[in-house]
Each structure stands twice: as C-alpha cells, then as structure tokens.
Amino acid sequence: QQQVKQSPQSLIVQKGGIPIINCAYENTAFDYFPWYQQFPGKGPALLIAIRPDVSEKKEGRFTISFNKSAKQFSLHIMDSQPGDSATYFCAGTGGSNYKLTFGKGTLLTVNP
C-alpha cells in the first residue's frame, strides 16, 4: 500500500521556469511532511518541510503548499536553475518512531 503518491515521475523545464511536484497522502496520523533532494550516487538531503498547521512555507526559491482537507501538498521551485536538476522525494511521518514514508520520486531536469 503506497501511502504517499507523488507526481509526475519526471519533469523537464527551461531555466527560470517553475516546476511543481505534487504529493498526496493517506495516513492522517502524519504530522510532518519533508521534501528531499537527491543527486545521482548520493543520499537524499532535506530541502524543506512543513507541518499541517500551516498552508504554505517558503525557504529561498523553494515553497511548499499544503492542503490539509485534501491531504495534498506540493513543492514549487521558483526561478529554477540547471543545478536544481535532481530527484525530489516527498515524504510523510508521524508517531514516536518518526519512520519516513516516501513518495516514488520525481526526476527534474532544468535545461539551460
């Protein structure tokens, strides 16, 4: 059972474009939703995260929008750069063991 559904699987944008990656979750016990960025051959690194008591969080060029009633959240990357080309994972977690449940990932390519 996939508890976090992520789309699209891949995304190609031009430099300066605004890629949007969407996620939907099923587990209402989740109370923390991080996004991770992964470059080839490396481990994921935390990019930005949100809790369900806020509808939007912005850090630099990265923004998370959160819709609690729809159980959906999305990542927007403003003024995208070729260096943003990577795989992005959304995740959810809740409870004392803080296990992360990941989406399947989105491969983003930003063309120069």
Residue where the block lists tokens 């927007």: 76
Distance (Å, whole) CA 32 – CA 39: 23
Between 43 and 112, name the residue whose CB sits nearer to other proteins: 43
Distance (Å, whole) CA 97 – CA 81: 36
Binder to other proteins among 41, 70, 83, 112 (CB under 8 A)? 41
Strand partners, 33: 50
Between 97 and 112, name the residue whose CB sits nearer to other proteins: 97
Interface contacts to other proteins, rule CB under 8 A = 6, 9, 32, 34, 41-46, 49, 89, 93, 97-105
